Amino acid sequence: MNKCILIGNLTRDPELTTTGSGISVCKFSIAVNRTFKNQNGEYETDFLNIVTWRGLADNCSKYLTKGSKVAVCGQIQTRTYEVDGQKRYATDIVADDVEFLNRAGDNQSAGGERQSAPAPKKTSELKPVDDEGLPF
């Protein structure tokens, strides 16, 4: 079984392209903190490449920006390619699902500036309930 679940923050804005047949492909990378400390007592971070396809790619491109927090569920995929005669290896996460974890007010506006979160709604204070007449 090849399945991974990751939570991290985008390290750059997503890049949306289309294949020759018109299928949307969105690529971005996320930074994921490890859960243990290294010899120096510091948490290390892994930077992972994410690939999304079709409608999910369109949504990621539209709603995510650098710094967005996401949960990614997908499969690990390796590939090889050549650069100047040198064989290179790459590992990607092909996402089946991407959950946007930022609150709606945390998203950036089209101009790139952060929108302020809406003010919390005021709620009335709780009042004590007279429980003497309850049957339990």
CATH (domain of 83):
2.40.50.140
pLDDT score of 121: 53
- Is residue 117 a part of any domain in this protein? no
Q: What domain range includes position 69?
A: 4-106
- Is residue 97 a part of any domain in this protein? yes
pLDDT score of 126: 65
CA distance 119 to 7: 27
Domain count, the chain: 1
Per-residue pLDDT of the chain (136 residues; tens, 9 = 90+): 999 999 999 999 999 999 999 999 999 999 999 999 999 999 999 999 999 999 999 999 999 999 999 999 999 999 999 999 999 999 999 999 999 998 766 655 444 444 444 555 555 566 666 677 766 6
pLDDT score of 103: 76
The pTM assigned to this predicted structure is: 0.74
96 touches 75 (CB < 8 A) = yes
- Is residue 38 a part of any domain in this protein? yes
